[in-house]
Amino acid sequence: MTQNLRIAVQKSGRLSEDSLNLFKECGIKFDNGAGKLKATSSNFPAEFLFLRDDDIPGYVEDGVADIGIVGQNVHVESNKNVSEVKLLGFSKCRLSIAIPRSDVYNGIEDLQGKDIATSYPIILGNYLKDNGVTSHIHEISGSVEIAPSIGLAHAVCDIVSSGGTLLSNGLKEVEVIFRSEAIMIGCPTMSAEKQDILNQILFRIDAVQRAKN
């Protein structure tokens, strides 16, 4: 009996639509009706798991899913033992440090000893270390941008796309510390049979991308 390749994609959010389209454009049919947590393709040896993006790297590392699609920000921050299969070019954004608009900023050394709120303590910690700066990192899981206005931190480090959210919270972007796009990650211990199925998908993705360019 052939095994299905298990593919983890974000259930609902900024990665979902483009992730699903990637496989649909490859001719892989499946039903992702609202509320579904799992779907099996009707014409290809694959099944889909619909998950929170933060859970995907762990599932792929454990082999519960064979491949998954997440932002590079989530992949790097998760620090899981997965392989980087392919960059996908969508959901582009950056991880930036921002401070109150009226604060003066001369350079990264201005953050020495300051409090920075973020959901990305690992990426931020590495960046500060590389730049010889020691700050206090406060890990918070959401609404990071309000931290300075409520006195929780001097600065924030968060995902930016248009910059509108920073602006509406009275903040200005002072350092871009990481650039991100969607990435396909894979389980390093995949069976040869599953690797074959993955290779078929990668071949189809390349063909679709070539046809678009």
Smallest gap, in angstroms, from Cβ of residue 2 to ligand PRT?
A: 30
The one-letter code for the residue type at 45 is P
Smallest gap, in angstroms, from Cβ of residue 21 to ligand PRT?
A: 15
Q: CB-wise, 53 or 61, nearer to ligand PRT?
A: 53
| Contacting residues for 182 by C-beta, under 8 A, at least 6 apart | 15, 18, 19, 69, 70, 71, 72, 87, 88, 89, 90, 91
Smallest gap, in angstroms, from Cβ of residue 40 to ligand PRT?
A: 22
Interface stretch with Zn ion, choices 33-41, 42-50, 52-60, 106-114 (CB under 5 A): 52-60
Smallest gap, in angstroms, from Cβ of residue 187 to Zn ion?
A: 20
DSSP structure string for 63-95? TSSSEEEEEHHHHHHHT---EEEEE---S-EEE
Smallest gap, in angstroms, from Cβ of residue 185 to ligand PRT?
A: 13
Residue in 24, 92, 91, 15 with CA at minimum distance from that of residue 53: 15
SS3 label, residue 115: strand
Binds 180: which of Zn ion, ligand PRT, none (CB < 5-8 Å by kind): ligand PRT
Interface residue with Zn ion among 18, 25, 47, 54 (CB under 5 A) is 54
Residue at shortest CB range from ligand PRT = 71
Rounded to an integer, what distance in angstroms lies between the CA atom of residue 152 and that of residue 115? 8
Contact residues: ligand PRT, CB under 6 A: 10, 13-15, 52-54, 71, 73-74, 91, 93, 158-165, 180
DSSP letter assigned to residue 3 = P
Interface residue with Zn ion among 5, 48, 49, 53 (CB under 5 A) is 53
**Interacting positions 145-204 with Zn ion (CB under 5 A):** none
Interhelix angle 16-25/192-212, nearest 10 degrees: 90
Q: CB-wise, 44 or 120, nearer to Zn ion?
A: 120
Rounded to an integer, what distance in angstroms lies between the CA atom of residue 140 and that of residue 154? 14
Q: Which residues form the interface with Zn ion (CB under 5 A)?
A: 53-54
